[in-house]
């Protein structure tokens, strides 16, 4: 199983989702590869936002070694599931899909927490540290749901 997390810049939400899931699959010794990407190339090659790194350190999930990259069409071949943080990311990723098989891999991450809710992980970039903490907690819960599904063989 290979899972890709996607947001706009790949410096706040998707690296945190990536960090959470990476840590959980490692702790549980699950055979899952995790990565993340942004729909833009704005932050290519850089570490996550300092505020997201600090929040990760504060609550126990470090992400400082991750580096931003842009989503590419080959990611449809390299990953089984592509979790987007909001509907704009979803639209942008779907616009690059080549066929139905590609499209079926693309999901909104919070639909794992609240099925069919189609809610967004709020973009914390212009927000406060509380917004970063909220993103951390939301993605901790969403990745717990993903882990449960993987363990129960229910991830499609």
Q: What is the binding site for ligand 4NP (CB under 6 A)?
A: 7-13, 42, 123, 125
Tokens of 29: 């010794």
Least separation, in Å, of the C-beta of 137 and ligand 4NP? 15
Beta-bridged to residue 23, according to DSSP, are none
CB 118 within 8 A of CB 108: yes
Least separation, in Å, of the C-beta of 60 and ligand 4NP? 20
In the bound state with ligand 4NP, the residue whose beta carbon lies nearer, of 108 and 150, is 108
In the bound state with ligand 4NP, the residue whose beta carbon lies nearer, of 39 and 79, is 39
Active site residues: 7, 13, 123
Least separation, in Å, of the C-beta of 76 and ligand 4NP? 20
Least separation, in Å, of the C-beta of 97 and ligand 4NP? 20
Tokens of 146: 């993903």
In the bound state with ligand 4NP, the residue whose beta carbon lies nearer, of 102 and 125, is 125
CB 40 within 8 A of CB 52: no
In the bound state with ligand 4NP, the residue whose beta carbon lies nearer, of 41 and 78, is 41
Closest-CB residue for ligand 4NP?
9
Alpha helices in 7-128, H assignment, sequence order: 13-27, 50-59, 75-78, 87-94, 100-104, 110-113
Beta-bridged to residue 37, according to DSSP, are 6
What is the chain's length?
156
């Amino acid at each position: 199983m290979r899972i890709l997390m996607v947001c706009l810049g790949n410096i706040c939400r998707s690296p945190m989702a990536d960090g959470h899931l990476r840590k959980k699959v490692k702790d549980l010794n699950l055979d899952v590869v995790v990565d993340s990407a942004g729909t833009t190339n704005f932050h290519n090659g850089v570490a996550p936002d300092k505020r997201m790194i600090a929040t990760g350190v504060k609550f126990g999930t470090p992400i400082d070694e991750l580096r931003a990259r842009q989503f590419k069409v080959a990611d449809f071949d390299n990953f089984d599931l592509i979790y987007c943080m909001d509907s704009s990311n979803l639209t942008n990723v779907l616009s690059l899909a080549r066929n139905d098989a590609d499209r079926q891999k693309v999901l909104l991450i919070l639909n794992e927490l609240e099925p069919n809710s189609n809610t967004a992980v709020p973009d914390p970039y212009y927000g406060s540290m509380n917004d970063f903490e909220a993103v951390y907690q939301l993605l901790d819960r969403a990745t717990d749901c993903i882990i449960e599904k993987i363990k129960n063989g229910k991830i499609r």
